[in-house]
């Protein structure tokens, strides 16, 4: 990443709530609005920027239940089942992780109530046929950046 890209990315952390936000950013970097937009396009195409959008403070708006569900999926099905679990809207994160408990896929499910998280997880279980799983709810948030 070159110098200009690094500076631009620094400015893109918080996009100003102005009618021409990219023009505002361009001014502060001595660039043109067109240049800012085309560089964002390039950074997005290259995969350096994952997305440009709003990050919701989900706890603040009532989405306070947060379940980490660990699944024991047959090794030869991890790819297929991982993709299927990821396709659920309620699943925000889905990873393959090795651990001593024998679970190999970890999913995060967020909702308004713990019971709803459990229902969603039951739906995932039915859809995938994976019945060996364990849920851990978050009792306290100690840090979130």
Hey, which residues between 95 and 114 contact another protein (CB under 8 A)? 95-101, 105-106, 110-112
φ, ψ at 116 (rounded to 5°): -65, -40
CB 85 within 8 A of CB 94: yes
CB of 133 to another protein, least distance (A): 9
The binder of another protein chosen from 30, 45, 76, 140 (CB under 8 A): 140
- The crossing angle, in degrees rounded to 10, of helices 21-29 and 3-11 is 140
CB 117 within 8 A of CB 63: no
Collapse the DSSP code of 74 into the 3-class scheme (helix H, G, I; strand E, B; otherwise coil) and give the result.
coil
Instruction: Identify residues 68-87 at the interface with another protein (CB under 8 A).
Output: 68, 70, 78, 82-83, 85-86
The binder of another protein chosen from 4, 29, 31, 135 (CB under 8 A): 135
Binding string, 4-33, against another protein, x = CB under 8 A? -----x--xxxx-xxxxxxx---------x
Collapse the DSSP code of 107 into the 3-class scheme (helix H, G, I; strand E, B; otherwise coil) and give the result.
strand
CB of 123 to another protein, least distance (A): 14
Q: What angle do CA 50, 116, 57 make, to 5 degrees?
A: 40
Applying CB under 8 A, what is the total number of residues that bind another protein? 75
Name beta bridge partners: 106.
70, 95
Q: What angle do CA 58, 97, 112 make, to 5 degrees?
A: 20
Instruction: Identify residues 48-67 at the interface with another protein (CB under 8 A).
Output: 48-58, 60-63, 66
- For position 130 contacting another protein by CB under 8 A, the verdict is no
The binder of another protein chosen from 28, 42, 46, 123 (CB under 8 A): 46
């Amino acid at each position: 990443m070159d110098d200009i890209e690094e500076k631009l990315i620094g400015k893109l952390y918080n996009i100003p709530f102005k009618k021409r936000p990219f023009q505002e950013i361009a001014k502060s970097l001595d660039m043109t609005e067109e240049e800012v937009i085309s560089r964002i396009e390039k950074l997005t195409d290259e995969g350096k920027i994952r997305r440009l959008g709003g990050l919701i403070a989900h706890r603040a708006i009532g989405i306070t239940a947060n379940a980490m569900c660990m699944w024991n999926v047959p090794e030869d099905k991890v790819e297929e089942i991982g993709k299927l679990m990821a396709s659920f809207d309620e699943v925000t994160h889905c990873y393959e992780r090795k651990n001593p408990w024998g679970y190999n896929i970890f999913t995060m499910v967020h909702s308004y109530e713990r019971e709803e998280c459990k229902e969603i997880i039951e739906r995932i279980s039915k859809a995938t046929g994976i019945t060996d799983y364990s849920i851990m709810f978050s009792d306290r948030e100690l840090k979130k950046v």
